Structure 1
Amino acid sequence: MAEIRPFCAVRPQADWAEKIAALPYDVYNRKEAREETAKHPESFLCIDRAETQFPEDTDPYAPEVYQKAHDLLYDWIAEGRFEKEKKPCYYVYEETREGRTQTGIVACASVDDYENNVIKKHEETRAEKEEDRIRHVDACNAQTGPIFLAYRKNETICELVARAKEKTPVYDFISREGIGQRVFLIDDDKEIAQLKEAFAEVPAVYIADGHHRAASAVKVSERKRKANPGYSGEEEFNYFLSVLFPDEELFIMDYNRIVKDLNGMTQEDFLSRMKEHFRVSPCTKEERRPKEKGMFGMYLGGQWYQCRIHEKDKSSDPVENLDVFVLQEKVLAPLFGITEPKTDARISFAGGIRGLDYLEEKVDGGWAVAFAMHPTSIAELFAVADAGKLMPPKSSWFEPKLYSGLFIHELN
């Protein structure tokens, strides 16, 4: 059963929250991060991507970059931009995008639950990406970006969340990206106990987004445990910052693929090979978005196509049944030789938030072909994780993202 416990958050003063709140560090490339922090020097991105505070040719992984993250964080705390909760609390975090709302519980999840697979994963992590966040957490002695967790809906938790949302929010603003942000405090001892007990009845929680941040938090915990062999298990470094959402409220967007060249094939050859596993038919721009599982859109040579998976290529296996797996195994690997999509420079990934016009722009601008995917469902994600398997890279894009800077978990 899951241990989800309250904590003493370091969080912005109410009049600073809107200025500080920032999208996660990894949704920006280096150029975008510099532009964002130049426009908004009070954004938490200045801390999450501290290389933006140095000349452009600075190594983003240099020791002084992580030291700068530490110095900025504690300077801002000293200046009074943040306050620390006086007792361990839970927080209700509501996000609204285009009229659609999702509401989660901000809390700390257990490193032991991660290692014992009570917290289930569906994605591999890369050592170099882990190392960046390990060094960031180590330097700051704090977790600054929450892990996005999901669980199967629980009525008791729903009732407690609804009750909390009847109170006056501690934050209520629209982010720079147009996402409604509201936060409510659960500080009543009875309600805290009820919420902790309710989560103890949840058999498993799932990482929806943030596998690298979670893995990094666990590695930092392991190091601190080794450095403190007499640790009790109650220390803050045994837990990591999370926001937990019920499955029914989550929205997954498509995660699309763009390929640089046709690997020596003509367009005619490529279309012929595609028809071995798919029913391929031209379609209009209005029909380009796949309407159901088992199909995807394809943009090639200025023309959109609908591609439907042949029945013989469908599977009951939770991974092999994923549209992104079928595309990888039937198209990307055999036709393009893209066997390592995480590292192959010939493939680019585009989260659904960019829209399908972006795919057209890339292909019209010189890339060879784009694939518009049907979104992976939360049920598919749970099924893969429950089976102890892993999804292909870039299988799901959750929207809206969790903002950084609103909740900080110190490891003291």
Structure 2
Amino acid sequence: MPKIIPFRAVRPTRDKVSLVAARSYESYSKKGRKFRMDRNPYSFLHIVNPGYKYQKEITGKKTFTLVRNRYQEFKEDNIFIQDEQPSFYIYKIIDRDDRVFCGLIGGASIFDYEDNRIKKHEDTLEDREELFKEYLDTVGFNAEAVLLTYPDNDAITAIINKVIEERAEYEFTSTTRDTHYLWVLNDPKSVATIQEAFAQMPQLYIADGHHRSSSSYLLAKEHQKNDPAYHEEATYNYFMSYFIPESHVQIYEFNRLVKDLNGLSKEEFLISLDTYFRIENRGVTTYKPSKKHHFSMYLDGEFYSLYLRKSNYNFENTLEALDTQILYKTILEPILGISDLRNDDRIAYAGGKKDMMYVKNVIDKGEYAVGFGMVPLTMDEIKTIADDGFTMPPKSTYIEPKLRSGITIYEF
């Protein structure tokens, strides 16, 4: 059953954590990154964007060694310290909407990943896996935890609730008005209780971080072959993860945006949709679906509701019943000619709080021709897809919480 371990995190000193912590590199615009780095010499962005030091844009594999160098400089300057004892780290976020996310940061086993005790629901790209594996091997650390879910557990919750009554090691509020807390947990009895509780679970599920986990697995297998002192408890046989109860996961939909109608006129396109959908013009009133198998569409300045004609569509398995798969099978591929959802530059995705008003705005600007919205998938759907051995279409879920980078770092 799943094995999780405490580890000796490298992390910022308490006085600098709010300055170090950063969102994921890709979430910033180029202008936004520069603005933050110009004004904050402690930002973790300086590590993952090492060319800034030389005012030069550096991309590709040549950046990996420079990332390692910037990281070592942060350690040499005592911006980062390493804990003396292996620990779990309780990480809590209260967002600006007062939603609470609380879980444990620790190490997940690549053997559990290999044996499908850590279950996946998304495909990964081989070239991206290999690139990130090489990155990890060069820099020697992981600063972004994989998000793993577990069924709510009374024993784990009791320990967490007791610990968070004490003063947090970290407490800071970000510019997005989310408040972050971190507690260090290394009491041997509590650690053992947590490990035993996880060992009794049949499996864990990846909510976010499929490429990070697969790359960590590939790196571990490579080290196992080449390490003359190999043993199962080697640090590279684990990857940093944020273990969060299923009740604390927030799932949003990813809306779809398509640049053109594949040579069809508006009227021809609507007629093509009629095969699988009952269509209603909602005019300029924003429409957001509230049920499975109902979709919203924005086209030529108007909103439409699309209700699936279930008599014309077969639910052959759990994958075929997913709304993201239905949209792909009935519209994106056969009508709009988009078969490669990952690499076709005619399609884009708007996740999280980029709702149908965002879709409307970018279409009205002429950037896209049509947009589609749906209700979010559920945790049960994600688990069922993973249990049945299927993988979802890309960008099926946008999942929160999103942890800040640079707060806990796992070295191997």
TM-score for the superposition, normalised by structure 1 = 0.95
Q: Which runs of 5+ in 1 are unaligned?
A: none
Give 1:311's aligned residue: 310
CA distances 1:62-110 after superposition (whole Å, capped 9, x unpaired): 42x1111111111111111111111111111111221001111100000
Structure 1 contact 33–49 (Cα < 8 Å) conserved: no
Give 1:165's aligned residue: 164
1:52 Cα deviation (Å)?
A: 4.7
Structure 2 contact 8–84 (Cα < 8 Å) conserved: yes
1:219 Cα deviation (Å)?
A: 1.5
Aligned length: 409
Tell me the distance in 2 between the aligned counterparts of 1:291 and 1:337: 27
> Is the counterpart of residue 86 in structure 1 residue 87 in structure 2?
no
Structure 1 contact 4–196 (Cα < 8 Å) conserved: yes
Give 1:392's aligned residue: 393
**How much identity, in percent, do the aligned residues show?**
33
Give 2:212's aligned residue: 213
1:287 Cα deviation (Å)?
A: 4.5
1:316 Cα deviation (Å)?
A: 6.1
Partner letter of residue 401 of structure 1? K
1:285 Cα deviation (Å)?
A: 5.3
Tell me the distance in 1 between the aligned counterparts of 2:262 and 2:220: 45
Give the direction of change, closer, same or farther, for the CA distance of 1:360–1:41 in structure 2 (3 Å limit).
Answer: farther
Match of 1:77 among 75, 79, 92: 75
> Is the counterpart of residue 344 in structure 1 residue 344 in structure 2?
yes
Give 1:46's aligned residue: 46
Structure 1 contact 69–136 (Cα < 8 Å) conserved: no
RMSD after superposition: 1.7
Tell me the distance in 2 between the aligned counterparts of 1:109 and 1:94: 19
1:30 Cα deviation (Å)?
A: 5.1
Structural mapping, 1:58-69, within 5 Å? 58=58, 60-63=59-62, 65-69=63-67
Structure 1 contact 278–309 (Cα < 8 Å) conserved: yes
Give 1:120's aligned residue: 119
Give the direction of change, closer, same or farther, for the CA distance of 1:180–1:68 in structure 2 (3 Å limit).
Answer: same
Structure 1 contact 119–206 (Cα < 8 Å) conserved: yes
Q: Which runs of 5+ in 2 are unaligned?
A: none
Structure 2 contact 149–204 (Cα < 8 Å) conserved: yes
Structure 2 contact 284–301 (Cα < 8 Å) conserved: no
Structure 1 contact 61–132 (Cα < 8 Å) conserved: no
Partner letter of residue 165 of structure 2? E
Give the direction of change, closer, same or farther, for the CA distance of 1:120–1:197 in structure 2 (3 Å limit).
Answer: same
Give 1:407's aligned residue: 408
1:6 Cα deviation (Å)?
A: 0.6
Partner letter of residue 68 of structure 1? L
Once the two structures are overlaid, the 10-residue window that deviates more, 97-106 or 28-37, is: 28-37
Structure 1 contact 118–204 (Cα < 8 Å) conserved: yes
1:134 Cα deviation (Å)?
A: 1.9
1:128 Cα deviation (Å)?
A: 3.0
CA distances 1:48-70 after superposition (whole Å, capped 9, x unpaired): 34355555553x1142x111111
Tell me the distance in 2 between the aligned counterparts of 1:265 and 1:291: 29
1:38 Cα deviation (Å)?
A: 3.6
CA distances 1:110-144 after superposition (whole Å, capped 9, x unpaired): 01111111010111111232233223212221111
Give the direction of change, closer, same or farther, for the CA distance of 1:30–1:328 in structure 2 (3 Å limit).
Answer: farther
Structure 2 contact 286–356 (Cα < 8 Å) conserved: no
Give 2:370's aligned residue: 369
Tell me the distance in 2 between the aligned counterparts of 1:95 and 1:316: 40
Structure 1 contact 179–400 (Cα < 8 Å) conserved: no
**Runs of 4 or more off by more than 6 Å in structure 1?**
none
> Is the counterpart of residue 268 in structure 1 residue 267 in structure 2?
yes
Tell me the distance in 2 between the aligned counterparts of 1:260 and 1:301: 12
Structure 2 contact 255–355 (Cα < 8 Å) conserved: no
Tell me the distance in 2 between the aligned counterparts of 1:247 and 1:105: 13
